[in-house]
Amino acid sequence: LKGHMPDRYQFNPAVPLNSEAQCYRKSPVLKDKIHCVAYVIDACKISIMSTKLEEKLETIRRKVNLLGIPQLVLLTKVDEACPLVKEDVTNIYKSGDIKDMMQEVSARLGVPLSCIVPVKNYSEELELDMKCDILLLSAVIQMLRFVDNFFDELSDRLSSEETKD
């Protein structure tokens, strides 16, 4: 999150990354840091999500909140979780089932409903589907808006610090 870890770092639970490691970035710059965290949650598995996983995600969410990094949840496989959406993906925001799933994710993960974006995965399709693409692109746009807001807030903080000096 803070940029100390290099790109493509291979995690090893037996040897956690520490500040003495050769690959550790002691002074990460803005481009090294995370600007948005996206949790990817399978809509079909919300109801069976373990308490342990919920607790891990909550711990991560709290740390990310402290750093002021925006977060959102990509609620995937909504077509598999809801027959109405499977029939026509444009029904995604009309579906009571999807709304209920989004509310459950919001309650269980502590993420505002406005930060939960339902999407349909490409899984068996051989051709691109414009309706699916629109959903996916909407999710990307939402992420980019969050990042843009993050940079605006960062810029405001830096400007106010310069004004104080």
pLDDT of the residue at 50 = 94
Residue 64 clears pLDDT 70, i.e. is over it: yes
* Start-end of CATH 3.40.50 domains in the chain: 34-156
Cα 138 from Cα 143, distance rounded (Å) = 9
Task: Give the tens place of pLDDT for each residue, 70-128.
Answer: 999 999 999 999 999 999 999 999 999 999 999 999 999 999 999 999 999 998 889 99
What pLDDT, on a 0 to 100 scale, did the predictor assign at position 161? 80
The residue among 104, 101, 48, 103 whose CA lies nearest residue 79 is 101
The string of DSSP codes covering 30-98 is GGGS---EEEEEEGGGGGG--HHHHHHHHHHHHHHHHHT--EEEEEE-HHHH-HHHHH-GGGTTT-HHH
Phi-psi region of 112 (alpha: psi -120 to 50; beta: other; left: phi over 0): beta
Q: What's the whole-number average pLDDT of the chain?
A: 91
Predicted TM-score of the model (pTM): 0.85
The pLDDT score that the predictor gives to residue 17 is: 78
> Residue 21 has what pLDDT?
80
Mean pLDDT of 7-31: 83
Domain 34-156 has CATH 1.10.3470: no
Reported confidence tier of residue 134, pLDDT bands at 50, 70, 90: very high
Q: Is the model's pLDDT at 165 over the cut of 70?
A: no
- Bridge partners, 46 (sequence order): none
